Structure 1
Amino acid sequence: MDFTPTEEQRAAGELAAEILDRSAEPWKALCEAGLVAAVEEIGLLGLVLLLEEAGRRTAEIPLAATCAYGLLPVAAHGTDEQRARLLPGLRDGSYIATGAFPHRSARAVASGDGWRLTGTFPVVPWLRVATHVLVPADTGAGTDTVTRLFWLPVPAGVEPVDTTAPWAAARLVLDGTPAEPLGDGAAYGELLARARTAFAGLQAGVCAGSLARAVAYTSVREQFGRPLSTNQGVLLRAADAHMDTEAIRVTAYEAAWRFDNHLPAASHALTAAWWASEGGKRVVHAGQHLHGGIGADLEHPVHRHFLWGRQLDAYLGGGAEVLAELGVLLGAPDTEEAV
């Protein structure tokens, strides 16, 4: 097993870093450079590399949401007509997608030749700037209940919601709202695992950026006539943060590589999500702590990493919840992982 990124994937990550560093309109620039469209070719591992660079800079762009909840699921599960209609806009940025995840017991009912959705999602990231939203909803009843994916334009007048990180979130309320199905009943589990892997990649970048800032600061900030970085306590805290960051990155890479190679990856995606949640939380706390008092300054760059890390911890479900789900998956008899 070798989940080392390919030359094309690394080149995409390097170009993303360059664009994010120099562009005043990074989302527009990424789309114009063809990097969003390129995700179809460079795969989930390539997307993880792009999101690492976005996370390092806490770039306020809907890259993770648009690719994880729009471009990749439409390409994988859309009909020929849906792909022809939706993919061009998702590739060039004229469409921005998000997902109403995790599943919150929305219901879908067949109506005529279409479907209508009813349900409430308290917090949907990037909903205020999105043009379309992917919604999981239950169909059928009792033992015949199946969670399917539905695609619809973002309703007008969504209610803004404040989140820890500035993710342009809003509350989504559906009341008999028309929607079109995307894929079959197996698509939901696959999409959720892919999205978890993508957001774990984003967390790897957030943590790497936080740690880099802490290392730079403690290398020049002096106390008692020597840099803080020479103190054993500081060195050990930074080393622990580095190990957590690497664990997030490696588990995200492995899960993404397995998806791209059509190998079972459900438990690997949950493992990446757990590290991103638990390890990510530790890293951004360490990054802020190693900055001393200025780490709590709302205007200091390292505080953005702290806010993003905590938001991603919550969005991924929290370590205990993810670990419980992983335990159920691993403990289920005669159960094969989804791809």
Structure 2
Amino acid sequence: MDFTPTEEQAAARDLAARIFGDLSTHERLAAAGTGSDAELWKELCAAGLVAAVADIGLLGLVLLLEEQGRTTAQVPFAASCVYGLLAVAAHGSREQRERLVPGIGDGTVVVSGAIADAGAVREEAAGRLSGVVPVVPWLRDATHVLVADDRRRLWLVRTAEAGCEPVELTAPWSAGRLTLDGTPGERLGASAGREDAPVGTRAGSEEASASKPPGREEASASASGGREEPCVDAYEDVLALARTAFAGLQAGVCAGSLARAVEHTNGREQFGRPLAAKQGVQLRAADAYMDTEAIRVTAYEAAWRRDEGLAYATHALTAAWWASEAGQRVVHTGQHLHGGTGADLEHPVHRHFLWGRQLDAYLGCGSEVLQELGDLIVSGEVET
């Protein structure tokens, strides 16, 4: 395994760090409330960072999301790249790729996702979907939503044709409630004259492994829309994509929280000595650093494996477990090391706390993720 960024990945990461650092300021974040920063989103798209994900792969996206997490920038970067660009590029038909991918890249098309609640949506009639998903992140910004039905088939739904109600979360994710009542949906990967891909195949199984590209060239071609046939495990692939990407976002949130705590404890003195000189503070910070690195390296591994065309579903679960279990420990530590200041709802570190807890919930609490991973181990479906 080699997680060293390519020249293109490093350049995209550095550009993202500069844009997020310049525009995602505490004042702008406070002004946005629970909404998104439209100007920042336009800047990211104009810089080509969303479109670049098709070339720099999932590992490149994780690097970009780390930079977003450090500043808790309020833009639908992860959602639109995972549920939109990467999902359509890998599993959409040629016509869908040609129609949707350019718009996702320039920001005129924004895609959110509601695939974890697969049992909540069903196909009532041909191409007509019904069901309710209580919370969909970035729904208020989305032009499309990628939903999974009770047969784990993926559909793109236009938000203009669905019921979308704002939901106020503690974390400002422009979330909404999605209501489908005979709403028309576009089956991802479906086109005239093609049969539906098999559903219910778990990533890592014999059938799924047979469909996976063997090397980087084929994987890159898939990400950029070079493959005609969808994977038989499209639902599992997109779910693992989301777990890996949002774990990368959590790594950035934790790194940002810890950086603020280090700055605070070095600058705040007690009895003539900085708080950072106290052993208890050092131990808490060291544990938080190790947790953050564990989130980062497991997200890198899962992303690298997908870019290499290797099975990665259980690696994505591992990354999600670290992001959920360790992530909430880190953001609690970041707030705790600020002392009374950390209880101030207007302090920047509080945003990291909220984001860390929201990502913990979005990825699934640690025990749930661990049970799913354990079930795969017991069933012998763990890939290597």
Normalised-by-shorter TM-score class: over 0.9
Residue deviations 1:230-289, cap 9 Å, x none?
000000000000000000000000000000001111110000000000100000000000
What runs of 5+ residues in structure 1 fail to find an aligned partner? 139-145
Q: Does 1:33 align with 2:36?
A: no
CA contact (8 A) 2:118 2:152 kept: no
CA contact (8 A) 1:267 1:330 kept: no
Structure 1 match to 2:351: 304
Identity of aligned residues (%): 68
What runs of 5+ residues in structure 2 fail to find an aligned partner? 25-38, 190-196, 200-232
- Whole-angstrom distance in 2 between the partners of 1:267 and 1:58: 27
* TM-score of the pair, normalised by structure 2: 0.83
Residue deviations 1:34-92, cap 9 Å, x none?
11000000000000000000000000000000001000010111111111111111010
Relative to structure 1, the CA distance from residue 265 to residue 63 in structure 2 (aligned partners, 3 Å threshold; closer, same or farther) is same
Q: Does 1:66 align with 2:80?
A: yes
- Whole-angstrom distance in 1 between the partners of 2:278 and 2:340: 18
What's the secondary structure of 1:151's corresponding residue?
strand
Superposed displacement of residue 162, structure 1? 1.4
Q: Does 1:221 align with 2:226?
A: no
Residue identity in the other structure for 1:2:
D
Q: How many pairs are equivalent?
A: 328
Residue identity in the other structure for 1:119:
G
- Whole-angstrom distance in 2 between the partners of 1:156 and 1:2: 44
Q: Does 1:136 align with 2:148?
A: yes
Residue identity in the other structure for 1:158:
C
Q: Does 1:285 align with 2:327?
A: no
Structure 2 match to 1:195: 242
CA contact (8 A) 1:218 1:291 kept: yes
- Whole-angstrom distance in 2 between the partners of 1:295 and 1:332: 44
Superposed displacement of residue 22, structure 1? 2.1
Report the more deviating stretch, 157-166 or 320-329: 157-166
Superposed displacement of residue 107, structure 1? 4.1
* TM-score of the pair, normalised by structure 1: 0.94
- Whole-angstrom distance in 1 between the partners of 2:120 and 2:129: 7
Structure 2 match to 1:96: 110
CA contact (8 A) 2:139 2:145 kept: yes
- Whole-angstrom distance in 2 between the partners of 1:269 and 1:232: 35
For residue 294 of structure 1, the aligned residue among 341, 344, 348 is: 341
* Residues 211-250 of structure 1 aligned to structure 2 (within 5 Å): 211-250=258-297
- Whole-angstrom distance in 2 between the partners of 1:201 and 1:316: 12
Q: Does 1:15 align with 2:29?
A: no
Residue identity in the other structure for 1:116:
R
Structure 1 match to 2:130: 118
For residue 155 of structure 2, the aligned residue among 131, 135, 150 is: 150
CA contact (8 A) 2:50 2:106 kept: yes
For residue 86 of structure 1, the aligned residue among 100, 103, 112 is: 100
- Whole-angstrom distance in 2 between the partners of 1:171 and 1:101: 14
Q: Does 1:177 align with 2:206?
A: no
Structure 1 match to 2:364: 317
Structure 1 match to 2:300: 253
CA contact (8 A) 2:118 2:147 kept: no
What's the secondary structure of 1:128's corresponding residue?
helix
